[in-house]
């Protein structure tokens, strides 16, 4: 009986990893494709007689700062940054509502329905973008497509539901939940890295239309896998469906305004501190992501789509492998907060080096310094999850999803705005600004390490939860 239970548990974890890998692969191919397509679409304003043919092998930048080509390049960078800002707002504003609502409802209706809804939204987005590219629609029509994606929950729901599924299958005791959250995150990043690598070759060989079309086809794979996956939220852990929005909002903020009388480890101040760290890490991360594509496409790096794909793939693969094995090793001596501190502080240094980069070598060096940077995110998720009872995991992740959405929206808008305003003065300024947030997060993590009580949570394992040996 025990072996059968463990087999079912492993199959569920395998399903989650497989779904998240294929999802992130498809999402990555689509994101890089329409981001690079937007850059070339704005370049066509200056080259109307030599309009790009849906794909390119060349970098559209000039390192001669006194040339007209270089001046046009800075104008294009500014225009693309503003377009990126509009895209972030179009997706982020409806996502604030959908992410919080869907995650909260998942505690009553299960995780699978909302995974499916978000996958459908991503499919519709990439499908319509494929049509738009092939029919040469106005680049601003993409705003409507990302709006649909935002209404359906997009990547935020996928990420939140995958973490909630892991929490459903594990206990708060020990370090298995922290590690499995990292494992799922590894497969997400592995898929994203593979997608960024593949997108460069697809664009090179087939063009942007095919690249986006392939993305819309691949996104159907996790839909297929979802059909064969059991619901991870058992019936005895589901809460009654409540359609009162006021009640949903109260449950979302309850963690941060009231102490838990049952578990002294689960205090509101610890929730607030962890969430503050999460914001200070995620905002610069997502903000930098919104501009790093255009940063490396501009001089002095002048990356074309193929080079971007290779660079991003190597960066993510090396980073995720080191994070996966590094966390397992560090867990022997360090707790979750200390591991998060290591990742956050090295990220701050990395941002400073990248912002100062004047050559590809320095860019690589800065990237290498920050390879452990993303290990902080799963550690903070794990800390919050361990403080939360089993029947409130979805609600807790709903709060995180809303924060992720706001950070993504604010970070992207902030990053794009700073980059647009400073690209012709000092291109790396945006990374300096974001490094300040990471240093602040490092300070908060030190405070968390000093004040954190080293005791297990007071919640007992609920019936139906599968225990994992650490």
* Residue 194 belongs to domain with CATH number: 1.20.1250.20
Give first-to-last CA distance, the chain, whole Å: 20
Q: Encoding tokens for residue 259?
A: 């102490």
More confident residue, 93 or 73: 93
| Tokens 């992410």 -> residue | 99
What per-residue confidence (pLDDT) applies to 464? 39
With a pLDDT cut of 90, the percent of the chain lying above it is 29
Mean predicted confidence (pLDDT) in 407-432: 85
196 pLDDT higher than 90:
no
2-11, 165-174, 459-468: segment of lowest average pLDDT: 459-468
Q: Are 237 and 168 within 8 A, CB to CB?
A: yes
182-196, 293-307, 403-417: segment of lowest average pLDDT: 293-307
What per-residue confidence (pLDDT) applies to 70? 64
Residue 246 lies in a domain: no
What per-residue confidence (pLDDT) applies to 264? 62
pLDDT tens digit sequence for 359-373: 889 999 999 999 888
Domain with 298, as residue range(s), is: 2-47+70-232+264-451
Average pLDDT, the chain: 82
**Residue 46's pLDDT band (cuts 50, 70, 90):** low
Q: Encoding tokens for residue 175?
A: 């370090």
Rounded Cα distance, 287 and 412, in Å:
4
Residue 252 lies in a domain: no
Residue 61 lies in a domain: no
The torsion angle over the Cα atoms of residues 230, 235, 236 and 237, rounded to 10 degrees, is: 70
Nearest CA to 319 out of 380, 271, 366 is that of 366
User: What pTM, to 2 d.p., does this model score?
Assistant: 0.71
Residue 55 lies in a domain: no
Give the total number of structural domains in the chain.
Answer: 1
pLDDT tens digit sequence for 233-253: 887 777 776 666 666 677 777
Residue 56 lies in a domain: no
Residue 248 lies in a domain: no
Nearest CA to 202 out of 60, 311, 57 is that of 57
Report DSSP state, residue 44.
Answer: T
Residue 180 lies in a domain: yes
Residue 118 lies in a domain: yes
φ and ψ of 229, to 5 deg: -100, 135
470 pLDDT higher than 60:
no
């Amino acid at each position: 009986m025990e072996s059968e239970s463990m087999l079912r548990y492993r199959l569920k974890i395998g399903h989650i990893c497989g779904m998240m890998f294929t999802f992130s692969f498809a999402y990555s191919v689509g994101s890089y494709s329409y981001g690079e397509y937007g850059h070339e679409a704005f370049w066509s304003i200056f080259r109307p007689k030599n309009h790009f043919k849906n794909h390119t092998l060349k970098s559209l930048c000039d390192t001669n700062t006194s040339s007209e080509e270089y001046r046009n390049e800075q104008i294009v960078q500014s225009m693309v940054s503003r377009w990126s800002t509009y895209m972030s707002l179009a997706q982020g504003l409806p996502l604030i509502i959908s992410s919080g609502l869907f995650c909260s409802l998942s505690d009553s209706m299960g995780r699978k329905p909302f995974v499916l809804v978000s996958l459908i939204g991503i499919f519709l987005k990439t499908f319509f973008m494929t049509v738009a590219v092939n029919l040469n629609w106005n680049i601003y029509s993409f705003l409507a497509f990302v709006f649909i994606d935002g209404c359906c929950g997009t990547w935020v729901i996928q990420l939140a539901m995958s973490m909630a599924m892991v929490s459903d299958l594990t206990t708060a005791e020990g370090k298995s939940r922290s590690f499995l959250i990292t494992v799922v995150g590894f497969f997400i990043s592995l898929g994203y890295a593979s997608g960024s690598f593949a997108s460069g070759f697809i664009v090179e060989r087939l063009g942007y239309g095919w690249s986006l079309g392939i993305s819309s086809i691949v996104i159907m794979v996790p839909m297929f896998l979802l059909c064969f996956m059991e619901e991870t939220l058992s019936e005895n852990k589901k809460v009654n469906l409540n359609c009162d929005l006021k009640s949903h909002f109260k449950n979302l903020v309850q963690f941060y305004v009231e102490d838990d009388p049952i578990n002294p480890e689960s205090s509101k101040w610890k929730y607030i501190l962890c969430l503050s760290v999460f914001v200070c890490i995620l905002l610069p991360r997502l903000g930098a992501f919104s501009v790093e594509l255009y940063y490396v496409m501009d001089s002095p790096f002048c990356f074309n789509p193929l080079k971007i794909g290779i660079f991003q793939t190597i960066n993510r693969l090396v980073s995720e492998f080191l994070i996966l094995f590094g966390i397992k090793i560090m867990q022997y001596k360090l707790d979750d907060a200390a591991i998060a501190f290591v990742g956050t502080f090295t990220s701050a240094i990395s941002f400073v080096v990248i912002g100062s980069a004047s050559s590809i070598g320095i860019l690589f060096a800065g990237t290498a310094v920050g390879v452990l940077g993303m290990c902080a995110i799963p550690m903070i998720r794990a800390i919050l999850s361990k403080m939360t009872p089993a029947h409130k995991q979805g609600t807790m992740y709903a709060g995180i999803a809303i924060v992720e959405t706001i950070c993504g929206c604010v970070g992207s808008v902030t990053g794009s705005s700073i980059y647009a305003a400073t690209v012709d003065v000092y291109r790396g300024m945006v990374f300096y600004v974001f490094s300040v947030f990471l240093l602040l997060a490092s300070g908060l993590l030190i405070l968390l390490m000093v004040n954190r009580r080293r005791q297990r949570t007071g919640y007992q394992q609920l019936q139906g939860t599968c225990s994992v040996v650490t």
